[in-house]
Amino acid sequence: MKDSYGREINYLRVSVTQRCNFRCAYCGAADPDARELSPGQFALFAAAFARAGITKIRLTGGEPLMREDIAEIAAAVREAARPETLAVTTNGVLLAQKAAALKKAGVNAVNISIDTLDGDCFRRMTGRDALAAVTGGLETALALGFDRVKVNTVLLRGVNDGDADRLVALARDYPVDVRFIELMPTGGMADYRERLIPSGELLARFPGLAPAPGGDGVAVCYAAEGFLGRIGFISPVSQKFCHRCNRLRLLADGRVKPCLGQPDAYDLLPYLNDPERLYEEICHCIQKKPAGHHFEQDRGLDPMNRIGG
């Protein structure tokens, strides 16, 4: 379905929990009393979103694998919406344990967030001594043969940007796309401006990269000789791509958020048992999608763990 600016909205990001087992400084803190939908409730939402034109669904959070019933949620969403792509974004620490169940439930793409391959830096950035578990999760996902495995990285100036070469090398050695996401002001970091590295500056450090086809609407892709995967740059701050935005967000408590960078959210849980009304309300949310984010104003922004980054 097209929104009021003519954008085709076909991608739903579903935050299944705000909770997380990491403490990334740029992300955010969870509300401990937050409501979380059940697998059956996610399925009812997914069916209504599919009717409104959603063909790609991503389960995220918080850390989605913290939900004991994550495979049940994935199977229920797959069955209800039959999306072309059912993806999961995870910090990877529980992935080795849960990847097989996710694949069996119908998940066909996995994004793993890895900001550094240095163990000490990893512990400082996430609050967990868990790099080996995360790289183990990456290897398990590759071995299981998901259609796509990607690595997401946020580089912070003076924190982990010295590790960019090693992260790029993951795409040389494994069939994974490594995507550098610009730091967004959503986490309320006091030193945000100092830490932000614009994609153009990062790209200039890698003269061997050549433009490549196949971005997914937000990532601009590059390839290098001999690499098994590609390098992507996602630049919501320096190259605002709102005019190409195709997504909506369903939060863990049943609210729908038309734009990550704006405060508005609509509670659709009251309509869950009225499929016709739920569908109409989803259409309304699509039409309420604003032209773009207002990151530059730096206010009214929800932390990523609450809205499904």
Interface contacts to ligand SF4, rule CB under 6 A = 20, 22-24, 27, 61-63, 91, 113, 304-305
Q: Establish if 309 lies at the interface with ligand SAM (CB under 6 A).
A: yes
Please pick, from the candidates 18, 152, 199, 246, the single residue that binds ligand SAM as defined by CB under 6 A: 152
Under DSSP, the state recorded for 301 is P
Q: Establish if 170 lies at the interface with ligand SAM (CB under 6 A).
A: no
Q: How far is the CB of 186 from ligand SAM (least distance, A)?
A: 5
Chain position whose Cβ is nearest to ligand SAM: 309
**Binders in 181-220 for ligand SAM, by CB under 6 A:** 181, 183-184, 186-187
187 interacts with, out of ligand SAM, ligand SF4, none, CB within 5 to 8 A per kind: ligand SAM
Helix (H, G, I), strand (E, B) or coil at 280: helix
Q: Establish if 60 lies at the interface with ligand SAM (CB under 6 A).
A: yes
Q: How far apart are CA 69 and CA 208, in angstroms?
A: 44
Q: How far apart are CA 246 and CA 198, in angstroms?
A: 23
Token pair in block for residue 79: 């069955």
| Torsion sign across C-alpha atoms 138, 148, 67, 286 | positive
Helix (H, G, I), strand (E, B) or coil at 271: helix
152 interacts with, out of ligand SF4, ligand SAM, none, CB within 5 to 8 A per kind: ligand SAM
**Residue type at position 109:** A
From the list 75-83, 179-187, 224-232, 269-277, the region that binds ligand SAM by CB under 6 A is 179-187
83 interacts with, out of ligand SF4, ligand SAM, none, CB within 5 to 8 A per kind: none
**Binders in 106-125 for ligand SAM, by CB under 6 A:** 113
Question: Nearest CA to 248 among 12, 17, 53, 3?
Answer: 12
From the list 87-95, 130-138, 210-218, 278-286, the region that binds ligand SAM by CB under 6 A is 87-95
Q: Where are the alpha helices (DSSP H) in the chain?
A: 39-51, 70-81, 95-104, 119-126, 131-144, 164-173, 192-195, 199-204, 275-287, 304-307
36 interacts with, out of ligand SF4, ligand SAM, none, CB within 5 to 8 A per kind: none
Q: How far is the CB of 266 from ligand SF4 (least distance, A)?
A: 23
Q: How far apart are CA 134 and CA 128, in angstroms?
A: 11
Shorter beta-carbon distance to ligand SAM: residue 130 or 278: 130
- In Å, what is the CA distance from 42 to each residue of 77, 161, 248? 7, 38, 15
Helix (H) or strand (E) holding 221: strand 219-223
Q: How far is the CB of 115 from ligand SF4 (least distance, A)?
A: 8
Size of the site for ligand SAM (CB under 6 A): 20
Q: How far apart are CA 259 and CA 261, in angstroms?
A: 6
**Which residues contact ligand SAM by CB under 6 A?**
20, 26-27, 60-61, 63, 89-91, 113, 152, 154, 181, 183-184, 186-187, 304-305, 309
